[in-house]
Amino acid sequence: MDIADAVADALAEAPVGTFSMAFTPDSLAVPRFTLSEIKTLHVTVVPASVSITGSSRGKDAWEIQIDVGVQKRVTQRLVEPDVLALAALTEEIVDYLRGHRFDALPRVAWLRTQIDPLFAVEHLEGVGTFTSVVRLFYLVHR
């Protein structure tokens, strides 16, 4: 959870104007929201997975994956503009976190980022909710 908390803190501490929409990120182990709660924008940071491989000098390489979920209900008549604005916010989050270093976690190095899905069509069609997931990959030698 340390890295997930650090990601949430980094997003919360971003300079004003970094993102096109205001939000307060949450770091949660198990994110669960009702549809009524998703009426407001939710940016949720969740530890996703860990892969461990052997490395040099008796240390292991830990690849830690952190997901950043972006969710918000969209109105039926504004689906297209809402989706485009929320997709742009998702890309702003990616841009801000790309290569970001955490002062409190000096051994943590950013590896790569992927957005999958950029937005979940089944969430839009099924429950009228924009959902995008940014997956961040970090490397730690232990």
Domain total of the chain: 1
Q: Is the confidence at residue 1, as pLDDT, over 80?
A: no
Residue 135, domain CATH: 3.30.2000.10
Domain hosting 115: range is 2-141
128: phi > 0 → left, psi -120 to 50 → alpha, else beta; which?
left
Which tens digits make up the pLDDT trace of 100-134? 999 999 999 999 999 998 888 888 888 889 999 99
Q: Which of 116, 120, 121, 118 is nearest to 137 (CA)?
A: 116
The mean per-residue pLDDT over the stretch 3-13 comes to 97
Give the confidence band of 140 by pLDDT, cuts at 50, 70, 90. very high
CA atoms within 13 A on the CB side of 48: 16
57: phi > 0 → left, psi -120 to 50 → alpha, else beta; which?
left
